[in-house]
Each structure stands twice: as structure tokens, then as C-alpha cells.
Amino acid sequence: MFNPRKTIVRHVANPPDPGVIAEAAALLRRGGLVAFPTETVYGLGANALDETAVASIFTAKGRPPNNPVIVHVADAASARQLTTHWPDRAALLAEKFWPGSLTLILPKSPAIPNAVTAGNQTVGLRVPAHQIALALLRAAEIPIAAPSANRSTQISPTIASHVLRGLDGRIDLLLDAGPTPGGLESTVLDLTTNPPQILRPGLVTVDQLQAVIGKVAAPEHTISSATEALRSPGQLARHYAPTAKVLCLTNESAAENKSTIRNLLNTKKRIGWLRLPDSAIEFDADPTTINIIDMPPDAAAYSSHLYAALHELDHAGVDYIVVDLPPTGDAWLAVHDRLRRAASSD
Ligand code: TXA
Ligand code: MG
């Protein structure tokens, strides 16, 4: 059962105050729950070698026990100790991308409790590229199991207040180091298959991976024409989703879009709009009734701002979030994946 906890918030500078890091490390070693920043999103950490501590992550998040969590380590040597097989591809990728936003799925060592891997014989490992996360890993001297620090199925947190919105009173400590720069979760790559399979597109792109290890299989649900995928969202699990309904619109269907939006406004729905500079969506309504967030046209900057924008519109209480669908292409794959999931009604 869920036990209420008093959540302490500590602001951490870069480089961090060693006293705050020591406090967080001690808490983790005692089985506590500590939310901390990574370069992607905030993570909800527990001692990966402590089955009870890991179980409390699932309780705090309301996460189904069949969804495994990623284990964070300080360096590739520590990752290697947690797997029974370290293939050449793992060595090449670790060398190139760690610390960084790439999670490698490898055969798990018996030291990893089943709660971490949801009973799978594999474990997801990554070295985060964030000074606070690395300082914590080094001070705690344990691997840290950490999913994103949000309630299950909700949007990942990129600032401390997002973490508190979902988890205040459910975790012991939150290290607040400001916004996480990447803004989307790591790429998850399964190295136990041939060719390796992308399970979740993320900040490290398919092209970047292929440049290092050759062919990798694209994520199963990612269709190159994202418009196509967005038109059949029913096949996809709702995840990374705001409370508001998300509608992704393309320039090609500008006329249709206009009438969709007019209908929403006529029924007094509150609308948020993630607008791109070249948007062909037109509102012939009072613009003050629409909560507009201007999104950058560059993939990295867009990724970095997407969750904060969705959180903001959700917080503002809009009924619908209209999104100008960004361009397709390798650099935009993760953004399309998250928008598709956010728009899914499952
Ligand atoms: O950027 C990130 O990856 C963030 C930060 C905190 O590191 N973490 C994160 O964790 O997004 P989470 O739990 O929200 O997502 C982990 C993803 C899930 O899709 C999970 O199913 C997959 O990784 N995963 C973890 N371990 C796995 C395993 N052994 N086999 C297959 N998939 C795994
Ligand atoms: Mg998550």
C-alpha cells in the first residue's frame, strides 16, 4: 500500500553542494525515493539492488509492475558489471554516447532484482549526462533505478514543479536543478536482437546509432509518415499524455483544420495551440480565447520545450491542445512518437 511521505525539496547548483548530494545518497542507500535531474527529464530514483525500494517506485508512480525501469550507472564499467554479456556493439555505443541519452537493453546479471526488469531477463542501462545525476551516482556508489518522475501514463517532468504536481507527498526528496536540457526521454535500444531494435525513439537518433554500429531496426510503431500514424491513433497505447485532448494538424489539411477548430470554439471549448512559425492553421476567432505557445522550428529546441508546453497548457485547464505537426525526418522521430502517443485516445 501507498504510505504518505514528506517530500523535501533541495535546490542544487552546478557544481552541487556536496552536503546535499551526500544527503540524497544516504537516503537512497536507506531505501528512500529521490527525484533528480538528468539531461533528458527528471528521474524518480531508488537503489536498484534493493527490491523493496524498487517496489516503492511502482507504488509512488502507480506504474504497472509489468513495465521495467531503467538502471542508471556512473560509467560503462559499472554498466558492464550489471550484465552477463557485454557485446562489442555495447562497447562501441557506450564509448560514443555515454554519458548520454541512450539506454541499452542487455542480459541482466542476477544482482538485479526482478522488480526492476518486470521479470525480464534483460536490463536497461544508461549513464546520464548530467552533473547532478553523476554526482549522486558516485556518492551513493549504487546503481539507481529511475523511471521518469511522473505518475504513470502522464507527461514526463522537465522542471521540479512538474515532479511535485504528480509526486508531492509520495517521495522523500527532490533535487531541483532547474530545467532538464534535453526535454525528451532517452532512446531505448535492444542489443539482444540482431539487428538491434529501437524500442523507444529518443534524443539519440537512428542515423547517429547506425553511423556507429550499422543497421538498427526502427521502432515498430513509428511510421515514416507521421500523419498516417496520427490518423489511426487507436492502435497505440496512450502514454506521455496530457489531460487535454491533443489534435495534431498538418498544413496539407488547412481547410479541414480551420473548420475543426471553428467547431471547437463554437462549442465553447478552451483551446491551447502549439504553433510553428510556418503554420497554415488560421483562427478566425478572438485570439485571446486561445492559449498560444510558439514552438521553435528546430528539432532539438522543440524537443527541449515540448513537455513544458504540454504541462503548461494542461495546467491552464484547456480542453484541447492543437498541435502544428512538425516536419518528418530522423531528428524529429522522437517528437512525432511522443505527439502520436499524446494524441492517442486509448
Ligand atoms: O531519459 C530517460 O530514459 C528517463 C531518465 C529518467 O533516465 N527515464 C525514463 O524511464 O524515461 P521510464 O521508466 O519512464 O521509461 C523506460 C522505458 C520504458 O519504455 C520501458 O518499458 C523501457 O524503457 N525498458 C526499461 N527496461 C527495459 C527492459 N529490460 N526491456 C525492455 N524495455 C525496457
Ligand atoms: Mg516514463
3-state secondary structure string across 56-98? HHHHHHCCCCCCCCEEECCCHHHHHHCECCCCHHHHHHHHHHC
DSSP label of 52: H
- Give start and end residues of each alpha helix (H) in 87-200: 88-97, 114-117, 131-140, 160-167
Contact indicator for 144, 53 with CB cutoff of 8 Å: no
Q: Is beta strand 122-126 parallel, antiparallel or unpaired with respect to 102-107?
A: antiparallel
Among 34, 185, 204, residue to substitute to test ligand 1 (most atoms within 8 Å of Cβ):
185
> 278 is written with which cell numbers?
510556418
pLDDT one digit per residue (tens) for the chain, 346 residues: 677 899 999 999 989 999 999 999 999 999 999 999 999 999 999 999 999 999 999 999 999 999 999 999 999 999 999 999 999 999 999 999 999 999 999 999 999 999 999 999 999 999 999 999 999 999 999 999 999 999 998 999 999 999 999 999 999 999 999 999 999 999 999 999 999 999 999 999 999 999 999 999 988 764 434 444 333 333 345 566 788 999 888 767 767 777 777 788 788 888 999 999 988 776 666 666 789 999 999 999 999 999 999 999 999 999 999 999 999 999 999 999 999 999 886 5
Rounded distance between C-alpha atoms, residue 238 and residue 111, angstroms? 33
268 exposure class (CB count in 10 Å sphere: 0-12, 13-18, 19+): exposed
Q: What is the pLDDT of residue 262?
A: 77
* Cβ neighbours, 10 Å, residue 154: 21
Q: What is the pLDDT of residue 239?
A: 62
Rounded distance between C-alpha atoms, residue 194 and residue 233, angstroms? 29
Q: Which ligand is nearest to the CA of 186?
A: 1
Q: What is the pLDDT of residue 267?
A: 82
Q: Which of 141, 115, 179 is nearest to 24 (CA)?
A: 141
- C-alpha 315 – ligand 1 centre gap (Å): 26
Contact indicator for 274, 339 with CB cutoff of 8 Å: no
Contact indicator for 37, 181 with CB cutoff of 8 Å: no
Q: What is the pLDDT of residue 264?
A: 80
> 92 is written with which cell numbers?
562501441
- C-alpha 203 – ligand 2 centre gap (Å): 14
Contact indicator for 244, 313 with CB cutoff of 8 Å: yes
- C-alpha 275 – ligand 2 centre gap (Å): 25
Strand, helix or coil at 102?
strand
> 81 is written with which cell numbers?
558489471
Task: Give the count of alpha carbons within 13 A of 68, CB side only.
Answer: 22
- Give start and end residues of each alpha helix (H) in 106-253: 114-117, 131-140, 160-167, 206-213, 226-231
Q: What is the pLDDT of residue 166?
A: 96
- C-alpha 94 – ligand 2 centre gap (Å): 22
Q: Which of 87, 72, 78 is nearest to 124 (CA)?
A: 72
Q: Which ligand is nearest to the CA of 151?
A: 2
Q: What angle do CA 46, 49, 90 make, to 5 degrees?
A: 95
Residue nearest to atom 10 of ligand 1 (CA): 147
Among 38, 103, 156, 163, residue to substitute to test ligand 1 (most atoms within 8 Å of Cβ):
103
Within 6 A (CB) of ligand 1 lie: 38, 40-41, 43, 67-70, 103, 105, 117, 120, 122-124, 128, 146-148, 185-186, 188, 199-200
Q: What is the pLDDT of residue 194?
A: 96
* Cβ neighbours, 10 Å, residue 258: 16
Q: How far is CA 48 from CA 15, 72, 99, in A?
A: 25, 9, 19
User: What is the Rg, in whole angstroms, of the alpha carbon atoms belonging to the chain?
Assistant: 20
Q: What is the pLDDT of residue 97?
A: 98
Instruction: Please report the atom of ligand 1 found closest to the CA of residue 40.
Output: 1
DSSP label of 113: -
Strand, helix or coil at 331?
helix
Among 36, 72, 188, 306, residue to substitute to test ligand 1 (most atoms within 8 Å of Cβ):
188
Q: What is the pLDDT of residue 230?
A: 39
The amino acid at 91: A
Strand partners, 42: 37
Residue nearest to atom 24 of ligand 1 (CA): 68
Instruction: Please report the atom of ligand 1 found closest to the CA of residue 202.
Output: 1
Rounded distance between C-alpha atoms, residue 101 and residue 186, angstroms? 4
- The pTM is what? 0.93
Among 34, 69, 155, residue to substitute to test ligand 1 (most atoms within 8 Å of Cβ):
69
Q: Which of 98, 47, 35 is nearest to 71 (CA)?
A: 47
Instruction: Please report the atom of ligand 1 found closest to the CA of residue 128.
Output: 7
Q: Which of 297, 296, 304, 294 is nearest to 334 (CA)?
A: 304
